[in-house]
Chain A
Amino acid sequence: MNLLIVLPVLLPLLTGVGTLLLRSSTRIQHVVSITGSAGFLASAILLLVRLRDGGILAVQLGNWPAPFGITFVADLFSALMVLLTAVIGFTVALYSIAAIDLPRIRYGYHPLLHFLLMGVSGAFLTGDMFNLYVWFEVMLIASFVLLVLGGEKAQFAGAVKYVTVNLLASMLFLIGAGVLYGKTGTLNFADLAFKLAQNPEPALVNTSAILFLVAFGIKAAVFPFFFWLPDSYHVPPAAVTALFSGLLTKVGVYALMRTFSMIFIHDMDFTGPLFLVLAGLTMVIGVFGAVAQGEMKRLLSFHIVSQIGYALMGLGIFTQLALSGAIYFTLHVAIAKAALFFVVGYVARRRGHTNLARLGGLLRESPLVAVLFLLAALSLAGLPPFSGFFAKFTLIKAGLEASQYAIVAVALLVSMMTLFSMTKIWNEAFWKDAPERMDTDARVPAPYLQAGDKWLYILPIILLVGITIVMGLAAEPILQMTGRAAEQLLDPAPYIRQVLGRMP
């Protein structure tokens, strides 16, 4: 009996149900939401503590044995990602108290937030392909409604694109799963890894591998499937964008890393270079897109794309160090990115818009937020002593060791351009003087913040920036942990033994 591994799914579900039942009172919803996500955070920490030395937990729901039943598996990689989900979930729940307007809360913002968290941690913990699909869809439905919640005109066009592209991705995923099942007769990760290692059949397995690559690539916003992301992520409120940028694309990255390091490993000569090319293009196109933008949310949305390239780079190099770096990077970027989007939300609240050309003077107006933005931005760009530096350093070191000089050069160049576009935000929004005529957007309520609300905006930013600094200072132990997670990915034997109860 291992309730510990089910808790990260159960607690958000319970919280979601609770907020749905108690939706008549906003105040009670806030309390339930915060308590629930704190419980989620606690369960994620417990899971990580339990697995920190490289153990693997598996549970067969309903006692139906693998590979027939529904399996939940947690290895160190899953546990780290679940913890990330819980951290982002908790800070977003905190931030939402002040940042989400009443109509949205009345339409069910809180239940959707927690159902989304449930879907994400389910995707991280599931042990088979089909349930991964199911969790993807849970996530998709919740994210879809979060995106249109509020019903502003601009949201519809973004939402339609988002839903269409994601539905197409799900369909490709489903077809891939069908083809894979037809070929191997199983969809359980452990069973797949076991069967394909014994009897590699490149023909149809490669077909489904590429279908999965495209499907996960769309979810993760990898080049050339990224176009939907900057087109839809800027429309919801900043709290929702932070949640999406922190978690949704990372689930795509997780799925890519899980499947292409454990299951589809028989054709690395082909997939390795493919991933490197995609990684390079994703980084470059994303950052070019970002540099060209004049609106904070769109700019940062392009950065989400660009940063995905780094995680993919680790997967393309495919050494233990590279995977370790990719995992560390994924954790780092989700946190730094969420902090930046929180800052954008604060700016939007103060000024009523986030158009860089018309912003300015924020350094004088709110120096603390400005400093927090600077710290998060420097971390994202990869300056020491923040987490971004160690993440990129590890990846670049892995690239040099594997003699992949081209991708290393691209990664360094893109880092520089990231720094450049971050200084653009800094100059335009914070450093330069406020424009003489303050034209606030009439649609947004007056940019007035009560002291309590203001701190509810700032506290989550402080938490996330604090985490990115701690991740930088404690890079050594964390990198050891991600290193162990990478080892587990490269050697699936213990995973298979834990799930199937027999030796490959």
Chain B
Amino acid sequence: MQEGQTRPAAKPVTPPFSPVLLLGMALRPVRPALLQPVFDAMLRVIRGRHPDILERMEPFAESVVCIDPVDLPFMILFEPHPADPRLVVRRAVDPAEVSATIRGPLETLIALAEGKVDGDALFFSRQLLIEGDTEVVVALRNAIDGAGIDLVEDLTSAMGPFARPARRVAGAALDLVAHMRANVETLRQAMIAPALKDRELQAARLSELEAEVRALRKAARGQDRRSRGMA
């Protein structure tokens, strides 16, 4: 089954020029292992506060999902096995070792996890990219959406007595990111304007070539259409 399976060449989405991207550049020298404790804490939260995520993912226990915040220099591997779930940070991931990949800007991924945005709408608008087994991604999306996650609340609650200050810091950090967004957007427009012109020319040439290929393919198809359909 699953004859439709295709694995596109690993071609990461261009990250939006955002505050998170700047953060990502700053984090580049950091070894993923240093970030691992954050994700260990997150996994504890999932097991403790949101066990239904793992329950809903049970049919996909053996599937590994790669979550790729395109503006950060690392990826997260999620293995939803109910008895032994894992959340691992990695610098790079070979597409062959995962069932599916979700790529998008960190802020979008967080908003999705918290159920603040509609996953379908994000994909319709191409802010998220899905590769590999779409069924696993849909299951994860539904499981997370159903859990009612509040990342700031969840993570800080896991920190016990440090919770209140941590919550303030985390909340402030998200606010800061939002404030910076407007300034960064102006800068981004200025930077990419020249590149956009070139691209239009290339696009025109490309669509000419595509039309040619289609015509050839249609001709070829006509020749073997007579053959009996095969399973």
Partners in one complex: no
